[in-house]
Amino acid sequence: MRSSLPKVLHPIAARPMLEHVLEMAYALSPAQVHVVIGHGAAAVRTQLAAYPVTWVNQAQQLGTGHAVQQAMPGIPDDAQVLILYGDVPLIRAATCQLLLDALQQADLALLSVELAEPRGYGRILRTAAGQVVGIREDKDCTPEQRYIREGNTGLMAVRARGLRVWLDNLSADNAQGEYYLTDVVGMAAQKLPSPPAGESLRGGRLGEKGGVEAVIATDEHEVAGVNSRAQLAALERVYQAHQARVLMDEGVSLADPARLDVRGRVIAARDVFIDVNVLLEGEVVLAPKVRIGAGCVLKDVVLGEGVEIRPHSILEGASIGAGAVIGPFARIRPGTVLAAGVHVGNFVEVKASQVGAGSKMNHLSYIGDSEIGAGCNIGAGTITCNYDGANKHKTLIGDDVFVGSDTQLVAPVTVGSGATIGAGSTITKNVEPGALALSRSPQIQRSGWKRPRKGG
């Protein structure tokens, strides 16, 4: 990856690859989750501290078999073990369940994949009858074995007692001088060595089930690993294409499925339209008939029915009522609640404010730490001066208030319902309901005045 960041922390959809794998693992309701870490262990633990995993340190990186061996002391003999990889982020729970189900008929189940170009993958070795007898790593393949198209993904399910014995019998006599986890497949296929006499596996003694079962993955992208930034970018597009398909299946129209990025969870109703180059982050809820224009960024927002977000608007941590219109080029900041039918126009910023039904602020305004009633008109260039350099203060505006253009409301201040503020005013005192408030310097006019000119 050519990076100081541990590989498994590189993101898919703004979340570490390892986090995707952990979420999938927990979807299977496991008794325990063990994560073997080595390079960058402290950073990995810090980034994923919220997950209740058992961290296992691999002080020396001596291969995949050695890595799994480090976790075995904490795993009961009668457990079913599912082995996953932190750099295979798109694996699905349904596929892993197939592996676990295959243990009903085998001692070990592995996940393989048919590849047009298997270079770099270990090859699945089978008998003429199709029985899996082992795996040969790419660097150790004979010229004939390199033509095998069935590749090993590395994922497997196996009973702990047998796995423990096979791991103890691994050898590092290979091209890389490592303990390959894949070598346990050959041991399982031969049904040797068996556990000590008198010990049995749940569902029968080792070897009675039929050795090794291969489950073939139906999507090679699902089992693809990441070893470069190019591969990471390719899987990002695969992930995003899947998210787009999910939304379209739910009744969302996308102007271009290839130009939508979802970096979180989207709950969308029918007849939503999303234009190109839209980014959805965090938790986004879209009611029916929402329209989102090109180039918008939405993070942790709830949009009511029929809301229109016009192009190049940014919304975060806000709730928008039905029929509201936002943008273009508007910014809605966290803590904002807009009621039904509110209009927020171009180059308007609203922060930590509540705005009542039908109120409008269409041009070039800043509304911060405010409560605005219903049916108000906020003129162009209006600013709520909410910060005195040390503390934030609130502006309270009642219903049906008209605020003229280029007005400064110096908080804390209250404007009563039905009041009118003349354009160009600086309001520092409360305004009574129904009153007209003006704050202007006298206009001065000098007839015949000439402007200065250069050179004269």
What domains does the chain contain, in order, with CATH numbers?
Answer: 7-216 (3.90.550.10), 252-437 (2.160.10.10)
For tokens 């000098």, name the residue.
446
d(CA 76, CA 99): 19
pLDDT at position 67 is 96
C-alpha gyration radius of the chain: 32
pLDDT at 440: 85
Report pLDDT for 174.
Answer: 82
Task: Give the mean model confidence (pLDDT) for residues 244-271.
Answer: 98
- Alpha carbons 287 and 322: distance in angstroms, whole number: 9
Interatomic CA distance for residues 398 and 419, integer angstroms? 8
Alpha-carbon distances of 379 from 305, 320, 429, 440, rounded to whole Å = 27, 21, 19, 16
pTM strictly above 0.85: yes
363 is catalytic: yes
3-state secondary structure of 351: strand
pLDDT over 60 at 208, yes or no:
no
> Across residues 256-277, what is the average pLDDT?
98
Task: Give percent of the chain with pLDDT exceeding 90.
Answer: 85
In this predicted structure, what is the pLDDT of residue 70?
A: 96
* CA 90 remoteness from chain centre: 12
Contacting residues for 13 by C-beta, under 8 A, at least 6 apart: 236, 239, 240, 243, 261, 262, 263, 264
**Alpha-carbon distance 100 to 158, whole Å?**
8
pLDDT at 444 over 80: yes
- pLDDT tens per residue across span 373-411: 999 999 999 999 999 999 999 999 999 999 999 999 999
What whole-number percentage of the chain has pLDDT above 70?
95
The span from the CA of 249 to the CA of 52, in Å, is 34
Euclidean distance between CA atoms 34 and 18, whole angstroms:
12
pLDDT digits (tens, 9 = 90+) for 408-426: 999 999 999 999 999 999 9
Q: For position 201, what pLDDT does the model report?
A: 35
Length of the chain: 456
Distance between alpha carbon 60 and the CA centroid of its chain, in Å?
A: 32
pLDDT confidence of residue 126: 92
The residue from 10, 34, 312, 363 that is catalytic is 363
Does 196 score more than 80 pLDDT? no
Query: How much is the pLDDT for 374?
Result: 98
The pLDDT of residue 190 is 85
Question: Which pLDDT value is given to residue 194?
Answer: 44
pLDDT in tens, 270-316: 999 999 999 999 999 999 999 999 999 999 999 999 999 999 999 99
CB 370 within 8 A of CB 388: no
pLDDT at 209 over 80: no
Are 154 and 63 within 8 A, CB to CB? no
- Residue 456: band (very low, low, confident or very high) from pLDDT cuts 50, 70, 90: low
The answer to whether 303 touches 320, Cβ cutoff 8 Å, is: yes
* CB 243 within 8 Å of CB 262: yes
